Structure 1
Amino acid sequence: MTTNYKAVSHQNIFAVLCTSMLSCGAAHAANNVTLFGIIDDGLTYSSNVGGKSAWQMQSGIAQQSRWGVLGREDLGGGTAAIFRLENGFNVNQGTLGNGSRMFGRAAYVGLSNDRYGTLTLGRQNEFMADYVGAYGATGNWGILLPHAGDLDNTGIDYRVNSAVRYVTPSFSGVSLGALYSFGGTPGEMGRNALESFGVNYVSGPLSIAAAYTAIDHPATAVNEGVWTASNPVDGNYGIAAGHYRSTGVSVQYVLGKARLAAVYTNTRFSSLDPTLGAHIDGAVTFNIGELIAAYNITPALQVGGAYSYTAGKVSANGTTPRYHIAGGVIDYFLSKRTDVYFQTTWMRAAGDATVAGLAPVIAASSGKSQLVARLGLRTKF
């Protein structure tokens, strides 16, 4: 029998996949396969988008709207086969997110052992996103409170294809992780390759994370996220860079109903090719510091705020772009699954920076300031 694969639509693939996986879970073990998801939608106001104010319905700001399937099969001896397929989408338009990928948020398979750790293969997060970003404002409240341009990927603006990732078990609260993505360039094993390392420590109220990520030719190795001409902070540095490197550390402390955190990252674009859009040679460095505070007024009501400062330096001409971002959030939980929230964020370009832009949420302002406010509704299943 000949199968016409071109005739199979995305919708049909989704339906067959979900039906077959859920059927397998029912036939073998009820906890083998889990279907999960988040739907986040709301109304966003922007004070200046290209010189004019704007009202927009936006999907996936506090958390990206998504659905996914988790699978686990016990193999004995503390070892299990695992997989994760996770799709991002726009609830307002019914379209695929993450570059129109079917499973753009995650797609991996692997083995997990209680004593030896977890090894996974596929499309995954690097450790600046998973470890350092988890304790920052984006990890707590979403991408409306980003680091400037999300240059360090703490807002998970990109994910990594063709990656091998290993995470150790927790030893006295410490877990280590390493990831490598093969560039796939014939004759040049290192071209378009990505490597990332992370350490995470959790002990009672204290959490500490650190990470390092390096990418060769980031615009072709990871052709999404911050390497776009629409990112005013990036300034096309990612498009022109031969090398990219980001390091960071974050600390969180929980004190009763309060939570305090701090994040520091250093991101460097180097080996810039001026013919590719950077208009300069040499290197560009950004240092970002962030402070976060949150307080649970009641079990159902949380308030919080964050401030970050970005200091950039362009080695070729000595210019120093600067950015201030401050914001706050009020989050009220109607149930364990559903909440309504209000967020507001203000960005100010300073130093040699001339344009504010809360990428990737809102297009750039026509001037140095941009204010954004949002009322949203989120439910989980």
Structure 2
Amino acid sequence: MKCPRIALAISMLVASAAHAQSSVTLYGLIDTSLLYSSSARVNAANPAAGGGTQWQEFAGSLSTPRWGMRGAEDLGGGLSAEFLLESGFNSTNGTLKNGGDLFGRQAWVGLNASQYGTVTLGRQYDFVVTYLAPLGATGSGFGGNLAQHPYDNDNLNNNMRLNNAVKFSSVEFHGVKVGAMYAFSNEAGRISNNNAYSAGINYALGPIKLSGAYLQINRDANAQNATGAVSTGDGDALTIGGLQRIYGLGAQYMFGKSSVGLLWTHSSTESPSNLLFGGSTSNGALPGPSNGAGNYIKFDNFEINGRYFLKPNFSLGASYTYTMASFNSSTGNAFPHWNQVMAQADYLLSQRTDVYLAGVYQRVGGGNGIPVFDAGVYTLTPATGNQQVVVAAGLRHRF
């Protein structure tokens, strides 16, 4: 007697879902590796304490583990409601990422008009991430986290999200997509203290993709608004300081599944006091009076990358990034530059599971003895000097 009742209940639910033409999908990804780092500091914030070889189990050498829910409801007339909630976690110990925020990666709701595009509201990515990052090796590119540019200064590795954001992304029209967004400061009487805006354009013609994007964050270095567009409490801020600008251009050529890409990005921050270094801005303190007048730091990143599929389920990839920076403070200047090479082999065991071997070599010069300009790959423990080698062997599964 119970079975017919259960079957009837299920059929009623399915019929109801089909009538409303709505759906909710649970998805996720887990990436865990065994990782080697050379010259790792014993104390990440104190290079004078010495260092040595580090072996560890590490979550997210390529892709940060996450789970989420996405959904849509057809409202008729080409209009639909959409939402996405996404949570990052550490697969080696089960703890939450993004400062412990439950949905610290993304949390937004929006409307999609099939003829025009989508408007979304909430915590979401800017157009540097949306349009530029897929053409590079880091972030949503094949090289993932280990290919991150120093301090993720250009946000291509999508460490930073914008809170309180309204975002419009157009549909493709003759190969062109455009987008713009604005993120509120949410501070009474100070609309420009930690608000942000971003815009981008993407063009696709056959195997060629071209993209450009811009992001600006307006902040008062002497009166930080921690709950504005960029949070300083969740560990996702790339720098702590004043006005920040990021922009760049990228190109990619596809031949089959394989690709070659070129990118240039520029970033600058006025009155910086900390950089994201070793997984924390507390490890990236810059010398000089905090928020000193006239202080600034700027970066230019030049990347070439390529990925080649030897077989449909086996690929080799590599990238080279040259980064040059200029740092100015009342107590001293520095002109550091980074050479970073990433190489990777990836083998698909199935459509959802792969194993990989990835390595990075980074060398820094011109740091003027400032510890934060020592070598440091991704959010791993920084090096005690100007060179670091990282090798990871991992397993990644999508569901």
Q: Same fold (TM over 0.5)?
A: yes
Deviations 1:170-193 (A, max 9, x none): 111111111111001111111110
Structure 2 unaligned regions, length at least 5: 1-11, 42-50, 274-286
**SS of aligned partner of 2:189:** coil
CA contact (8 A) 2:99 2:235 kept: no
CA distance in 1 between counterparts of 2:243 and 2:162 reads 16
Residue in structure 2 matched with residue 8 of structure 1 by the alignment: none
- Decide which of 329, 350, 355 is 2:344's aligned counterpart: 329
Counterparts of 1:13-92 in structure 2, within 5 Å, are: 27-29=16-18, 32-50=23-41, 51-92=51-92
Once the two structures are superposed, the pairs formed by residues 87-106 of structure 1 within 5 Å of their partners are 87-106=87-106
Distance in structure 2 (CA, Å) of the matches to 1:24 and 1:170: 35
Cα distance in structure 1, aligned partners of 2:22 and 2:75: 14
SS of residue paired to 2:200: strand
CA distance in 1, matches of 2:390, 2:98: 23
Cα distance between partner residues in 1 of 2:110 and 2:14: 18
Does residue 367 (structure 1) correspond to residue 369 (structure 2)? The answer is no
Indicate the residue corresponding to 2:189 in structure 1.
187
Instruction: Give the Cα–Cα distance (whole angstroms) in 1 for the partners of residues 343 and 368 of structure 2.
Output: 24
Displacement of 1:67: 1.0
CA distance in 2, matches of 1:121, 1:162: 7
Partner Cα separation in structure 2 for residue 213 and residue 121 of structure 1: 17
Could you tell me the TM-score, scaled by structure 1's length? Answer: 0.86
**Match of 2:27, as an amino acid?**
F
Identity of aligned residues (%): 36
Pairing 1:111-130 to 2, within 5 Å after superposition:
111-130=111-130
Equivalents in 1 of 2:154, 2:142: separation in Å?
16
**Distance of aligned partners of 1:254 and 1:321 in 2 relative to their CA distance in 1, 3 Å threshold:** same
Query: In the TM superposition, what is the alpha-carbon distance from 1:64 to its structure 2 partner?
Result: 1.2
Alignment partner for residue 288 of structure 1, among 298, 301, 319?
A: 301
Give RMSD over aligned pairs: 2.2
Deviation at residue 363 of structure 1 after TM alignment = 1.8
The DSSP-based 3-state class of the residue aligned with 2:81 is: strand
State which of 175, 179, 187 in structure 2 corresponds to 1:173. 175
Write the distance in 2 (CA, Å) between the matches of 1:103 and 1:210.
28
Tell me the TM-score normalized by structure 2.
0.82
Distance in 2 between the 1:268 and 1:25 partners? 53
Quote the residue 1:232 is aligned against: none
- Following superposition, the deviation at residue 351 of structure 1 comes to 2.0
Partner of 1:17: none
Q: What residue in structure 2 maps to residue 214 of structure 1?
A: 216
Instruction: Tell me if the contact between 2:375 and 2:385 (Cα under 8 Å) persists in the aligned partners.
Output: no
Deviation at 1:216, TM superposition (A): 1.5
Cα distance in 2 for residues equivalent to 1:26 and 1:60: 40
TM-superposition CA deviations, 1:114-135 (whole Å, max 9, x none) = 1121000011001111211111
Amino acid at match of 1:81: A
Q: Residue 38 of structure 1: CA displacement?
A: 0.6
> Residue type of the partner of 1:332?
Y
**Which of 326, 342, 353 is matched with 1:338 structurally?**
353
Q: Deviations over 1:186-215 (max 9, x none)?
A: 111111101111111122111111110011
User: Counterpart of 2:341 in structure 1: which amino acid?
Assistant: A
Quick check: 75-84 or 126-135, which moved more? 126-135
Q: Is 1:163 matched with 2:165?
A: yes
Following superposition, the deviation at residue 278 of structure 1 comes to: 5.9
Deviation per CA, 1:88-128, whole angstroms, max 9, x where unpaired?
Answer: 11111111111111111111000001112100001100111
1:249 paired with 2:240, answer no
Check whether the contact 2:271–2:293 (CA below 8 A) recurs between aligned residues: no
Q: How many residues align?
A: 349
- The CA deviation at 1:28 is 1.1
Structure 1 gaps, min length 5:
1-22, 229-237
User: Which residue, out of 314, 318, 324, partners 1:311?
Assistant: 324
State the SS of the aligned residue for 2:159.
Answer: coil
Separation in structure 2 between the aligned mates of residue 187 and residue 45 of structure 1, nearest angstrom: 50
CA apart distance, 1:271: 4.4
Letter in 1 for 2:367: D
User: Offset of 1:303 from its aligned partner?
Assistant: 0.1
Distance (whole Å) between structure 1 residues aligned to residue 173 and residue 236 of structure 2: 35
Establish whether residue 269 from structure 1 lines up as the match of residue 284 from structure 2: no
Residues 199-245 of structure 1: per-residue CA shift (max 9 Å, x gap): 111221111111100112286442255647xxxxxxxxx32x22000
Distance in 2 of aligned mates of 1:119 and 1:34 = 20
